[in-house]
């Protein structure tokens, strides 16, 4: 029977975060081998589930090998990455004969020892299985693609949507390419182009202009004769590595010249649209003011404290401005385990003065200080059945306190960093989104799948932080030069 192995290592590494990602971060989310991998993802809206389902449809034996995932945070510690590699390669050795490998790298993983961590682990896997075994996989379009990643694989396809709601479909697509390859019907080859353009995170929503029009160019290429896949890599601006930036990747059936030509043409599309992709920046003051004037609910996206980009989740710029102006009723979620413990000590139904958030440094704002009532204490767990960004279905934000003040400001305080990818973050705790004028979500595009159905307007706010949207505020040391928007490419 034909046997295809499955490996996933997914982490978005923000090199501007002061903390490091450890092995415990993976253990808290996903660090599994063997059959436990399939059990974990069998009901998730995720590419790994797509791998399993696609192989099952073709009656090919899926061999789950390794899956590691940690929530976005800092660079992976050297020892942690070594441990991940040992576990992955050891399990690969135990897997026996394999006819192919389906892989799920993120594309923006950075370790202390290997800035191009995805290129490193894919190259190690290629060395083990040899040049003749097809390696086909998926990518997050927020990855910073490297030539090493391209060289180590036969075909890679990225999600087409941001927010990412097509991960399972892309897993199925990768599995289909694998099946056709093993049946001898196609010979996938690929080529990439690396334009010197960093696409601003504020402009990376694929259903909004100008990213929508750019994505349509890739869709047109997918319809070309002989093309198996065409991927727009938006890039991850919060990894200070040489690979940081946008890229295009085209897979064809045996025609590497065509793949190179089309990748270059798509790369030029990115260059030609670079000024449209540079982003616009709304201040905290103007964001709150506009949010108060529009019909509610209005979602304010806190771009500088984007938890999905590795930020600490304790930023207070918007919370403090909402309090200062008395704008509301409003909802904010802040990660602060110390305040949760203070709330539990006071007890549900009791009031007192709290100092909330702002514990990660001045970059993310001063603590929100005021008199609040502890309206609810909860375990912080909830489930999401709809397809949402990242394919997550189970959420655990740790012990949670919901605090309210007399002016209508509701602060959900969590003891674990919380991804704002589900409206159940409110409704599971009895909070009706419709009763708020403003809802703050700590993200840029990822929360849209959850918040668009309930918010009449959405505004992206250029708050300060380790995920600030204005890239020129970040101190890069390793990026390519010249690169737009840092340097002018027209010279």
Neighbouring C-beta atoms of residue 433, cutoff 10 Å: 19
Position 230 scores a pLDDT of 98
Cβ(37)–Cβ(64) under 8 Å? yes
Average pLDDT of the chain is: 97
Give the integer Cα–Cα distance in Å for 35 and 366.
46
Give the integer Cα–Cα distance in Å for 417 and 305.
11
Give the integer Cα–Cα distance in Å for 450 and 291.
19
Please state the domain extents for the chain: 3-277, 284-469
- The answer to whether residue 181 scores a pLDDT higher than 60 is yes
- The answer to whether residue 389 scores a pLDDT higher than 90 is no
| Cα-Cα end-to-end distance for the chain | 58
Give the integer Cα–Cα distance in Å for 163 and 399.
27
In tens, the pLDDT along 20-53 reads: 999 999 999 999 999 999 999 999 999 999 999 9
In tens, the pLDDT along 110-148 reads: 999 999 999 999 999 999 999 999 999 999 999 999 999
Residue 77's Cβ-count burial label (10 Å; 0-12, 13-18, 19+) is: middle
Q: Is the dihedral of CA 448, 388, 27, 98 positive or negative?
A: negative
The rounded percent of the chain whose pLDDT value lies above 90 is: 96
| Average pLDDT rounded to a whole number, residues 64-78 | 97
In tens, the pLDDT along 326-353 reads: 999 999 999 999 999 999 999 999 999 9
| Average pLDDT rounded to a whole number, residues 442-451 | 94
Position 361 scores a pLDDT of 86
| Average pLDDT rounded to a whole number, residues 449-474 | 96
3: Cβ contacts below 8 Å, ≥ 6 apart? 60, 61, 63, 96, 97, 98, 99
Which residues, listed in sequence order, are joined to residue 5 by a DSSP beta bridge?
Answer: 63, 101
- Biggest CA–CA distance in the chain, Å, is 70
Position 392 scores a pLDDT of 81
Q: Which of 149, 155, 150 is nearest to 135 (CA)?
A: 155
Give the integer Cα–Cα distance in Å for 137 and 148.
14
DSSP label of 111: B
What is the rounded radius of gyration, in angstroms, for the C-alpha atoms of the chain? Answer: 22
The rounded percent of the chain whose pLDDT value lies above 70 is: 100
- The answer to whether residue 159 scores a pLDDT higher than 70 is yes
pLDDT level of residue 431 (50, 70, 90 thresholds):
very high
Cβ(343)–Cβ(328) under 8 Å? no
**For 322, phi and psi rounded to 5 degrees?**
-60, -40
Position 491 scores a pLDDT of 52
């Amino acid at each position: 029977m034909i046997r295809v192995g499955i490996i996933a290592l997914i982490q978005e590494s923000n090199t501007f975060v002061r903390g490091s990602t450890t092995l415990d971060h993976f253990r808290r989310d996903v660090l599994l081998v063997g059959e436990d991998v399939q059990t974990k993802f069998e009901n998730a809206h995720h590419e790994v589930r797509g791998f399993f389902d696609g192989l099952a449809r073709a009656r090919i034996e899926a061999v789950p090998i390794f899956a590691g995932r940690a929530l976005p945070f800092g660079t992976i510690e050297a020892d942690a990455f070594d441990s991940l590699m040992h576990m992955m390669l050891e399990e690969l050795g135990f897997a026996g004969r394999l006819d192919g490998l389906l892989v799920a790298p993120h594309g923006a993983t950075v370790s202390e020892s290997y800035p191009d961590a995805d290129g490193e682990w894919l190259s190690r896997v290629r060395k083990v299985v040899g040049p003749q075994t097809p390696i086909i996989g998926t990518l997050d379009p927020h990855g910073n693609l490297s030539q090493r990643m391209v060289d180590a694989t036969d075909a890679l396809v990225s999600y087409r949507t941001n927010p990412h709601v097509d991960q399972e479909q892309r897993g199925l697509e990768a599995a289909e390419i694998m099946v056709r390859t093993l049946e001898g019907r196609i010979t996938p080859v690929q080529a990439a182009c690396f334009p010197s353009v960093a696409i601003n995170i504020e402009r990376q929503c694929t259903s909004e202009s100008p990213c929508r029009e750019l994505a349509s160019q890739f869709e047109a290429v997918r319809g070309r004769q002989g093309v198996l896949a065409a991927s727009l890599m938006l890039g991850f601006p919060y990894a200070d590595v040489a690979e940081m930036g946008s890229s295009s990747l085209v897979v064809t059936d045996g025609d590497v010249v065509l793949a190179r030509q089309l990748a270059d043409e798509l790369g030029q599309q990115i260059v030609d649209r670079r000024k449209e992709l540079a982003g616009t920046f709304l201040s905290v003051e103007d964001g709150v003011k506009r949010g108060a004037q529009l019909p509610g609910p209005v979602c304010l996206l806190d771009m500088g404290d984007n938890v999905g980009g590795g930020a600490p989740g304790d930023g207070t710029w918007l919370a403090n401005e909402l309090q200062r102006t008395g704008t509301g009723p409003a909802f904010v979620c802040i990660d602060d385990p110390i305040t949760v413990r203070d709330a539990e000590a006071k007890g549900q139904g009791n009031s007192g003065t709290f100092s909330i958030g702002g514990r990660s440094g001045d970059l993310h704002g001063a603590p929100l200080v005021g008199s609040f009532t502890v309206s609810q204490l909860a375990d912080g767990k909830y489930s999401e059945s709809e397809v949402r960004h990242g394919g997550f279905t189970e959420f655990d934000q740790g012990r949670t306190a919901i605090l309210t003040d007399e002016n209508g400001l509701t602060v959900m305080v969590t003891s674990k960093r919380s991804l704002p990818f589900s409206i159940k973050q409110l409704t599971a705790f009895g909070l009706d989104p419709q009763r708020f004028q403003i809802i703050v979500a700590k993200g840029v595009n990822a929360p849209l799948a959850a918040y668009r159905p309930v918010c009449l307007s959405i505004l992206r706010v250029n708050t300060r932080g380790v995920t600030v949207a204005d890239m020129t505020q970040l101190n890069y040391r390793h990026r390519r030069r010249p690169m737009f928007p840092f340097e002018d490419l027209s010279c």
